[in-house]
Amino acid sequence: MSTLPFDQPGARIAFDLVVGVFVLSELRIQLRSARSRTGSRLPERSLVVVQATVLGGLGGAVLLARRAPGLAMGNGWPPFVAGVVLMCAGIAIRQWAVATLGRFFTIDVRVQSGQTVVEDGPYRWVRHPSYTGLILAFTGFGLALGNWGSLVVAAVVPTAGLVYRIHFEERALLDRRSDELARSLLDPLSEAQRERLVDAMGVVERLLTAGLVDVAIEDPRTPAARFCLRSYYTELDARFDTGFDPGRAISTTAEELTEPAGLLLVARLRGEPIGCGALKLQGSPPFYLKRMWVAPGARGLGVGRRLLRELEDQARKRGAEVVYLETNKTLTEAASLYRSSGYVEVEPFNDEPYAHHWFQKRL
C-alpha cells in the first residue's frame, strides 16, 4: 500500500488541524443553535438525512483512500495542498454565512418572527453560502486524500443530503412568508370585510372549479351513466312524498336515450361523474328534456344550468323550435332553474304520474 500525502508527519498535522478546526466550528454552531429558543421548530427528518450522508460520504472517502490504491491520484502533493486550501475556504465561507444570519441561523429548521430573505455578506453572490461552504470543505477533504474515488464520494454523497435539506428549508420559509403576507393583508380589514373577502374567495373557487367541468354525450349503459341515473332515482325516492318508482314514470330506457331515439349528457369533474340530463328525440320534434340531476356536492357550480343549456343546443341542432319538460312540486330548485332559464309553465302535455308542473321553452 503506497504512502498517502496526508500520512506524512507534516502533512498529517496540517490535515488534522484543518479537520479539527472544522469539527470545533461545527460544534460551536450546534451549541449556539441548541441554546436558541426563538421561533417555532418544524418537525422534519432532513437533518438526519444530512448527518447520514455526511458521515457516509466522509467515511467512505477515507475507506477508499486506504483500500483502493488503484484510484490514487498521480502526484498526491498538489491535490493534497489544493484540498487543504479548499477545506479552509469552505470553513471560512460557512462561518461568514453563519455570522451574517446571526440569530436566524439554526441547525434545525425553525420559523422565526421577522425572518426575511438575507441579501448581505456572502448571500449577495451565493443563495446558500453556508451549505456551499460545507460542499467546498467536503470536496477539499476528498481531494486531500489523494484518491479519485474519495473525491467523488466526499463531494457527491454529502451534497445529495444538503440538496434535500435545502428543498425543505426553502419550502418552510416560503410557507412562513406566505402566512405573513396573508396576515398583513387581513390585519387592516374589519370583521365584516374579512367575511366579505372569504365569501368572494369562495365564489372564485366555485367559478374556477366550474371551469373544470366537462359535459359530453355518453352511452347510457356505461358505469358513469348508470351511476348518475341510479343516484337520480334514489334522490327522488327520498324526496317525493310518495317515493319514486322508475317503472311507473314515463320510460327512459337505454334504447330511448341512445341516438337517434335520444341522448344522455354526463357531466364530469376531474373525471368523476357529477350530473346528467337526457333528451328524448322520438325521431322528430317535439323533444322532451328528462333526468336532470346534479350531485349534491357539485351544486352551486352552475352544472345544472350548463346541462340544461347543452340539452337545448342539442335539440336546436336537430331542428327543434320548442322543448318540453315536467317536474315534481318537491323539486323547487329545479322549477326555479327552469323559470330563470326562460321556461314558462303550460298545461299538462303528458300523463307523468310524478309531475305537478309542466314547462316549455321556445328556442
From 119, 151, 186, the end of a domain falls on 186
Percent of the chain with pLDDT over 70: 88
pLDDT of residue 116: 57
pLDDT in tens, 281-301: 876 778 999 999 999 988 888
DSSP 72: B
Using alpha carbons, list the distances in angstroms from residue 11 to 64, 136, 144: 19, 20, 10
CA dist 75 and 60 (Å) reads 22
Which range scores top for mean pLDDT: 1-5, 26-30, 187-191, 263-267?
Answer: 263-267
pLDDT in tens, 338-349: 999 999 999 999
Per-residue confidence at 39, pLDDT binned at 50, 70, 90? Answer: low
Domain assignment of residue 48, yes or no: yes
Helix H or strand E encompassing 189: none
Q: What DSSP line would sit under 263-285, residue for residue?
A: EEEEEEETTEEEEEEEEE-TTSS
pLDDT of residue 104: 63
pLDDT of residue 169: 75
Q: Where are the alpha helices (DSSP H) in the chain?
A: 9-35, 46-67, 77-101, 129-144, 148-186, 191-210, 223-239, 303-317, 332-340
Instruction: Look at residue 118 and tell me whether its pLDDT is greater than 90.
Output: no
Per-residue confidence at 98, pLDDT binned at 50, 70, 90? Answer: confident
pLDDT of residue 101: 73
Question: Does residue 92 or residue 113 have the better pLDDT?
Answer: 92
Residue 34 and residue 81 in one domain: yes
Instruction: Look at residue 336 and tell me whether its pLDDT is greater than 60.
Output: yes
Of 315, 195, 212, nearest to 263 by C-alpha is 315
Domain assignment of residue 119, yes or no: yes
CA dist 2 and 72 (Å) reads 9
Residue 41 and residue 105 in one domain: yes
CA dist 103 and 113 (Å) reads 11
Per-residue confidence at 26, pLDDT binned at 50, 70, 90? Answer: confident
pLDDT of residue 224: 95
pLDDT in tens, 131-179: 899 999 999 999 998 889 999 999 999 999 988 888 877 777 777 767 6
Domain assignment of residue 195, yes or no: no
Average pLDDT across the chain, whole number: 85
CA dist 185 and 194 (Å) reads 10
From 153, 186, 219, the end of a domain falls on 186
Residue 214 and residue 349 in one domain: yes
Domain assignment of residue 196, yes or no: no
pLDDT in tens, 61-75: 999 988 888 888 877
Residue 309 and residue 356 in one domain: yes
Q: What are φ and ψ of residue 340, in 5° steps? A: -70, -15
Residue 303 and residue 174 in one domain: no
Per-residue confidence at 204, pLDDT binned at 50, 70, 90? Answer: confident
CA dist 141 and 155 (Å) reads 9
Q: State the helix-helix crossing angle for 9-35 and 77-101, rounded to 10 degrees.
A: 20
pLDDT of residue 168: 79
Per-residue confidence at 1, pLDDT binned at 50, 70, 90? Answer: very low
- The CATH number covering residue 220 comes to 3.40.630.30
- Boundaries of domain holding 87: 5-186
Domain assignment of residue 199, yes or no: no
CA dist 173 and 116 (Å) reads 8
Question: Does residue 198 or residue 307 have the better pLDDT?
Answer: 307
Q: Evaluate if pTM is beyond 0.75.
A: no
Q: State the helix-helix crossing angle for 148-186 and 129-144, rounded to 10 degrees.
A: 170
pLDDT of residue 94: 87
From 186, 202, 230, the end of a domain falls on 186
pLDDT of residue 229: 95
Domain assignment of residue 197, yes or no: no
pLDDT of residue 215: 94
Mean pLDDT lowest among 62-71, 142-151, 204-213, 353-362: 204-213
Residue 176 and residue 246 in one domain: no
Count of structural domains, the chain? 2
Per-residue confidence at 36, pLDDT binned at 50, 70, 90? Answer: low
CA dist 13 and 340 (Å) reads 89
| Neighbouring C-beta atoms of residue 200, cutoff 10 Å | 10
